[in-house]
Every structure is written in C-alpha cells, then in structure tokens.
Amino acid sequence: MSNKAELVASVAMRAGCSNAEAEKVLGEAFKYIAENVRRGEKVAWPGFGTFSRSDRSARMGRNPQTGATIPIKASRSIKLSASSVLKKAFSADVR
C-alpha cells in the first residue's frame, strides 16, 4: 500500500518538480474534487474515473450481535466509478 509521502515523491519525480510543489498540487486537486462532489457535481478524470456523491437514505438495519432492529441515519459519501480505460488496464494483468 502506498502512503501520502510515497505518492508525493512519485509525482514529484515524474513531473520534475519538488516534493513541496507536488504536495501542493495534489492537495489542491483533492480539495477541488471534494468541494465539487460535496455540492453534488460529478468530477470526471478521463482515463481514470468519475467521482460523484452518493446519498444514502435512512433505513432500518439489524444489530448482528443481538438481532435487534435499529434505525440507520441518512448519510452521504463519495463514489469513484472507474473508467473503461482503467478497468482494461487492470484486466490486462489478469489474462
């Protein structure tokens, strides 16, 4: 698993810039994605995927330990739908 420091170092090396510059650009890109998805807009990155907001309605669930029915609040999360290019890149390794 990669961590933030490894991602920043890899991007800096590939882009020919400093780690600080790469970290700033990545941070701004992630902020842009988060802000737009939070507003309900989709953010598409061709060749990678589309980020979108997923709204989950309130529902009744079950406590797996006791079996009791419990209410689950409505929630919101972020979803990434991988592009066909990214999916093909992964499936090519399996064959």
**For 18-71, what is each residue's pLDDT tens digit?**
999 999 999 999 999 999 999 999 999 999 999 999 999 999 999 999 999 999
pTM for the predicted model, two decimal places: 0.76
- Is residue 65 located within the same domain as residue 19? no
CA Rg value for the chain: 19
CATH of the domain at 72: 4.10.520.10
pLDDT value at residue 91: 86
- Is residue 16 located within the same domain as residue 58? no
- Is residue 35 located within the same domain as residue 47? no
Using CA atoms, how far apart are residues 37 and 57, in angstroms rounded to an integer?
18
pLDDT value at residue 92: 78
Element housing 79 (H / E):
strand 75-82
Tell me the average pLDDT across 74-78. Answer: 96
- Is residue 53 located within the same domain as residue 17? no
pLDDT value at residue 29: 97
Domain that holds residue 17: 1-39
- Is residue 30 located within the same domain as residue 60? no
Classify strands 69-72 and 59-62 as parallel, antiparallel or unpaired: antiparallel
- Is residue 25 located within the same domain as residue 67? no
Total number of domains in the chain: 2
